[in-house]
Structure 1
Amino acid sequence: MSDKKMVAVLIGIAAVLWFITSLFFTRTSSTNDIYLIPEGFEGDIRVNYNVQGAPALEKDGKYDVIPIRVDGTYDTSKPDMEYGLVTDQYFYVSHDHDGRRTPIDERCVHVRGNGSSEIGSSITRHNDLTITLTKCSEDFRAWGK
């Protein structure tokens, strides 16, 4: 291969790598959710998205606020959850409605995953996680055990 062809190939490879890298870094997104969980709650949580008639999510800066009910659920009309780097924050909220938030240790939160269900032409997306008061550990965070 001639020197000119070799230079052209190397420039082409560099251009492709630059393009792929720029796509990756400019399209990175974050989940940015704040979960407000009733004080003392322990168990499974499910957030349902794209629920007709449900409220939209309120914002706290760049975060969506998800106020979990005492049964561990919340429904929102927002069509879908955010995907990407998980930047979620978890707080217990006092029962006396003073708005006091107590951070939950990330080792007490196991994110189980996302799913969806379909009824007719309506698709509801789900985000599932588990909160513990007694099993907080890296093992619980990773595996829910």
Structure 2
Amino acid sequence: MLLIVTLMTTSCRLRTPDLWVIPDGYEGWVKIDYIVRNAPPLPLQNGHRIIQVSLSGYVQTSSELQEGWASDQFQYANGTPLHSTSWGEGGKVWGGMFESEIVCTETTKTSSSCRSTGRSINQCYFIGTEEQLKTAGQCASRKWPSVSDDDRVALVTK
């Protein structure tokens, strides 16, 4: 019973919603790298964390990807809203994939042990039509700026 209550409370936790501001007319993958050392934190405006995407479709922040539920919004810089819908309903926002941080330690000279830290380190969305998405390839296949483990804000353990 305690496990069920715990799962329900963590899965229903609210977070600050994100407002993704996309360059006018941009179509393609957009990516944000989180917890990047020396990158600016996401600013707060009108109750939203503002993710200002560059002309290349990329952004870095020292902020973390927040866990929980929120109604994120997407819009072009001119204020035109972009909607996320189900297949066949005319949406312009697709994906929401994220990658988790993996830490590996060498156990012997020939093997290592890896585990997830539980932190999400980046997130991708596709901006465009459903047909464009089908031919766009994967977010990971695009050339993005490289972020090494040393570039990340250190994990604070309790």
Q: TM-score, normalised by structure 1?
A: 0.64
Deviations 1:109-140 (A, max 9, x none): 012410146799xx8811111100xx258xx8
Q: Does 1:84 align with 2:68?
A: yes
- Where structure 1 has 5 or more consecutive residues not aligned to the other structure, the ranges are 1-15, 95-100
- In the aligned structure 1, how far is the partner of 2:125 from the partner of 2:7? 30
Partner of 2:28 in structure 1?
Answer: 43
Partner of 1:125 in structure 2?
Answer: 121
* Residues 124 and 42 of structure 1: CA distance in aligned 2, closer, same or farther (over 3 Å): same
Whether the 8 Å contact between 1:48 and 1:124 is mirrored in structure 2 is no
Whether the 8 Å contact between 1:118 and 1:124 is mirrored in structure 2 is no
State the one-letter code of the partner of 2:126: T
- In the aligned structure 1, how far is the partner of 2:5 from the partner of 2:102? 36
Residue 62 of structure 1: how far off its partner (Å):
2.5
Larger radius of gyration: 1
- In the aligned structure 2, how far is the partner of 1:119 from the partner of 1:113? 20
* Residues 23 and 116 of structure 1: CA distance in aligned 2, closer, same or farther (over 3 Å): closer
* Residues 20 and 116 of structure 1: CA distance in aligned 2, closer, same or farther (over 3 Å): closer
Q: Does 1:102 align with 2:86?
A: no
Q: TM-score, normalised by structure 2?
A: 0.60
Deviations 1:69-102 (A, max 9, x none): 0000000011x201233511001013xxxxxx11
* Residues 53 and 124 of structure 1: CA distance in aligned 2, closer, same or farther (over 3 Å): farther
* Residues 23 and 61 of structure 1: CA distance in aligned 2, closer, same or farther (over 3 Å): farther
Residue 41 of structure 1: how far off its partner (Å):
0.1
Superposition RMSD in Å? 3.2
Residue 22 of structure 1: how far off its partner (Å):
7.2
